[in-house]
C-alpha cells in the first residue's frame, strides 16, 4: 500500500471523525523519525512530496466542510511544506478539543435534561432486536444513498448507546423524528418499521421511569410525527 492510500484508508463516514483521524495520522507522520520533519536527509525529497499531499488533503477538507476552521494567515517566504502540515495539524488539534468539550457538555446536559435509562440485559437485547429490524428495512429501502447512510450512521450510534451503563433517551427521539420524515418512502414496510421504532422507545421510557421512580407520559402523546401510510401496505 502506497503512502497516499495508507493516509486516507478506512475513513469513517462522519466528516468530523474523518478529519480527526486524518489529523492524528498527520501528527504521527510528523513524529516519524524517517520523515523530513526529523531533519533527516535520508528521504527529504520524498518527505516534501508527502507533506504537500497531506497539507493539500487537510486544507481542502477544512475549506469545503469546516470553513470556520480556516482563517487567513500571512505567508512567509521561508515557509515549507512541513510548516503547512504543522499548521493544519494544530488546527485539527483545536477542533478535536472543541469536539471533546462539546461531548462532555452534552453528557452533562443529557443527564440533567434528556434523562438516562438504565436498561436490564433483557431490555438491551430486545432493543437491539428492534434496531436490527429497522436497520434491515433501511438497507433494503429505495431511499437515496445520502439519506440512507445518514439514518444508518445514526442507528449505529444508537446501538452503541444501548450498550452503555446509563442510556441517553433523547438521542432516540431525535432519530425517530428523522425517521418519521421519510416514513412514506418505505411502502409496505412503513407500519412494521414504525412499530419497531415505537417499541424501542417504549423500552427506554419504561426503563427511565423505573430509574427516576416517576410516571412518564405515553409515547403516543409525546411524539408529534406523521402516521405511517397503512394503505400502502394493503396495496403492495
Same domain, residue pair 83 and 135: no
| Contact partners, residue 133, CB within 8 Å, separation at least 6 | 192, 193, 196
Query: Does position 109 have pLDDT exceeding 90, yes or no?
Result: no
Residue 194: partners with Cβ closer than 8 Å, 6 or more residues away: 179, 183, 227, 228
**Where residue 228 falls among pLDDT bands split at 50, 70, 90?**
very low
Task: Identify the domain containing residue 171 by its residue range.
Answer: 115-235
Is 39 part of any domain? yes
Report phi then psi at 67, rounded to 5.
-60, -25
Number of folded domains in the chain? 2
pTM of model > 0.75: no
Final residue of a structural domain among 55, 83, 103: 103
Q: What is the pLDDT of residues 154-208, one digit of tens each?
A: 899 889 989 888 887 777 877 887 787 777 778 778 888 888 988 888 888 888 8
Instruction: Answer for the pair 99, 20: CB distance below 8 angstroms, yes or no.
Output: yes
Residue 68 and residue 18 share a domain: yes
> Which DSSP state fits 113?
I
Same domain, 124 and 166: yes
Amino acid at each position: 500500500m502506497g503512502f497516499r492510500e495508507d493516509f486516507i484508508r478506512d475513513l469513517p463516514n462522519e466528516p468530523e471523525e474523518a478529519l480527526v483521524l486524518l489529523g492524528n495520522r498527520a501528527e504521527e507522520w510528523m513524529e516519524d523519525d524517517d520523515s523530513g520533519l526529523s531533519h533527516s536527509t535520508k528521504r527529504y525529497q520524498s518527505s516534501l512530496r508527502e507533506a504537500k499531499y497531506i497539507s493539500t488533503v487537510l486544507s481542502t477538507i477544512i475549506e469545503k466542510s469546516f470553513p470556520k476552521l480556516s482563517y487567513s494567515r500571512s505567508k512567509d517566504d521561508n515557509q515549507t511544506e512541513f510548516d503547512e502540515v504543522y499548521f493544519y495539524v494544530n488546527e485539527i488539534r483545536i477542533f478535536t478539543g472543541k469536539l471533546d468539550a462539546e461531548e462532555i457538555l452534552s453528557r452533562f446536559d443529557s443527564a440533567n435534561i434528556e434523562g438516562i435509562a438504565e436498561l436490564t440485559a433483557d431490555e438491551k437485547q430486545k432493543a437491539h432486536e428492534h434496531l436490527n429490524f429497522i436497520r434491515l428495512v433501511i438497507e433494503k429501502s429505495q431511499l437515496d444513498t445520502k439519506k440512507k447512510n445518514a439514518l444508518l450512521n445514526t442507528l449505529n450510534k444508537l446501538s452503541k448507546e444501548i450498550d452503555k451503563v446509563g442510556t441517553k433517551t433523547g438521542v432516540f427521539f431525535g432519530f425517530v423524528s428523522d425517521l418519521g420524515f421519510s416514513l412514506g418512502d418505505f411502502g409496505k414496510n412503513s407500519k412494521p418499521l414504525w412499530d419497531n421504532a415505537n417499541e424501542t422507545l417504549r423500552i427506554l421510557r419504561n426503563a427511565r421511569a423505573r430509574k427516576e421512580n416517576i410516571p412518564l407520559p405515553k409515547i403516543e402523546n409525546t411524539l408529534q410525527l406523521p402516521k405511517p401510510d397503512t394503505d400502502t401496505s394493503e396495496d403492495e
